């Protein structure tokens, strides 16, 4: 387990020296930081393509739809800005990130392990899969089902960040979904709190704790922007069917108002970059297509970087794009 005693390093040191100590704590100099939450639409796989398109000089990075937080975390790791705003309307996620920024991560992990034992949930980190007479392919859902339902009921009765994290870890595909009454409603999943998840949690928590990150759970329309900001917007995708689009989670009106918000930022000389999907399973986002024609559009795909999406890109099921109001 990595040390978290960062405060002992910071006194009298420069920003660069403090950043070096942060990298030492996180052991992350040459890797992509992953979110501790398996958030739908996380950009960690596309980050190597995204980052070269981001500007070099700005004071504050504004992550308008932070999701799992991997974009902000990796820019903190790279020391890209003086400060960072991690915003998302999903308040449960933001509350969890705020909690990580304040708690001692070693104590948090001890509490996670204590709760796992209290609920009788599987612990392959300690015992392995054979102990539960299953393998990694078939998973742990049968063993954990009743215990998970108890955990879920307790959380819905009295929500807190610790139980929230356990629900995500032990829930279906590690996803996050709440019904209209605000109750977590996913079934049990196949995995548990393993060594890989522990490592992701520690690295991310260290960056949250020492990275000069502010958190908010506002609607994007409520976020005030300053001239030296750089806005990154990765909104829900209008033409996909992810869980965040259920129950009218993102509408055409939301889409148009986001573009108006970014147009206003552009008028005030604020740089922005927007991630989105312009083609998905035969559908085309025509609202995005029309709006993006005013700016710079880049295709982000492992198979045809920088190709014209009207040609080769249409052969793909999904085409990710980045729209910027500045030249690369």
Cβ neighbours around 106 below 10 Å, total: 15
Asked, for residue 55, whether it belongs to a domain, the answer is: yes
Give the residue from 158, 178, 202 where a domain finishes.
202
**183 and 272 share a domain?**
no
Are residues 67 and 149 located together in one domain of the fold? no
pLDDT at 14: 44
CATH number at residue 272: 3.40.50.150
209 part of a folded domain = no
Specify burial of residue 23 (Cβ count, 10 A radius: 0-12, 13-18, 19+). middle
Q: For the chain, which ranges sit under pLDDT 70? A: 1-30, 40-42, 242-248, 301-316
**Domain limit, last residue, from 202, 231, 252:** 202
Q: Are both 47 and 79 inside the same structural domain?
A: yes
Instruction: Note the pLDDT of residue 312.
Output: 47
> What CATH number should be reported for the domain holding residue 196?
1.10.1020.10
CA distances from 241 to 15, 164, 250, 323 (A): 43, 24, 11, 22
The pLDDT value given to residue 317: 74
Give how many domains the chain has, as a whole number: 2
Domain that holds residue 269: 31-89+218-324
In a domain, 2, yes or no: no
Q: Kindly report the pTM of this predicted structure.
A: 0.85
The predicted structure's pLDDT at residue 282: 87
Q: Where are the alpha helices (DSSP H) in 227-311?
A: 252-267, 286-292
Final residue belonging to a domain, choices 174, 202, 230: 202
Q: 251: alpha, beta or left, given left = phi > 0 and alpha = psi -120 to 50?
A: beta
Phi–psi pair at 69, nearest 5 degrees: 80, 5
| Res 22: pLDDT | 58
């Amino acid at each position: 387990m990595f040390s978290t005693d960062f405060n002992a390093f910071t006194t009298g040191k420069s920003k660069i020296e403090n950043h070096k100590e942060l990298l030492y704590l996180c052991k992350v100099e040459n890797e992509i930081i992953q979110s501790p939450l398996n958030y739908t639409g996380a950009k960690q796989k596309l980050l190597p393509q995204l980052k070269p398109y981001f500007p070099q000089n700005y004071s504050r990075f504004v992550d308008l739809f932070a999701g799992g937080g991997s974009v902000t975390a990796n820019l903190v790791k790279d020391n890209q800005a003086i400060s960072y705003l991690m915003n998302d309307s999903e308040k449960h996620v933001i509350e969890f990130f705020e909690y990580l920024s304040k708690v001692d991560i070693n104590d948090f992990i001890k509490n996670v392990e204590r709760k796992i034992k209290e609920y009788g949930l599987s612990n392959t980190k300690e015992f392995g899969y054979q102990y539960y007479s299953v393998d990694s392919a078939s998973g742990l859902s049968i063993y954990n089902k009743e215990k998970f339902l108890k955990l879920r009921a307790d959380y819905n009765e009295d929500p807190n960040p610790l139980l929230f994290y356990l629900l995500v870890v032990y829930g279906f595909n590690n996803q996050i979904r709440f019904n209209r009454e605000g109750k977590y409603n996913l079934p049990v999943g196949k995995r548990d709190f393993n060594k890989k998840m522990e490592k992701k949690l520690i690295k991310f928590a260290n960056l949250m704790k020492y990275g000069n990150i502010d958190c908010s759970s506002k609607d994007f329309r409520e976020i005030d922007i300053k001239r030296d900001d750089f806005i990154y917007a990765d909104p829900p995708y209008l033409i996909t069917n992810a869980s965040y689009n259920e129950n009218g989670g993102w509408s055409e009106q939301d889409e148009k108002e986001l573009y108006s918000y970014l147009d206003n930022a552009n008028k005030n000389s604020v740089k922005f970059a927007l991630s989105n999907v312009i083609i998905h399973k035969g559908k085309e986002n025509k609202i995005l297509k029309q709006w993006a024609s005013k700016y710079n559009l880049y295709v982000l795909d492992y198979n045809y970087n920088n190709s014209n999406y009207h040609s080769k890109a249409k052969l793909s099921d999904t085409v990710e794009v980045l729209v910027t109001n500045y030249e690369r």
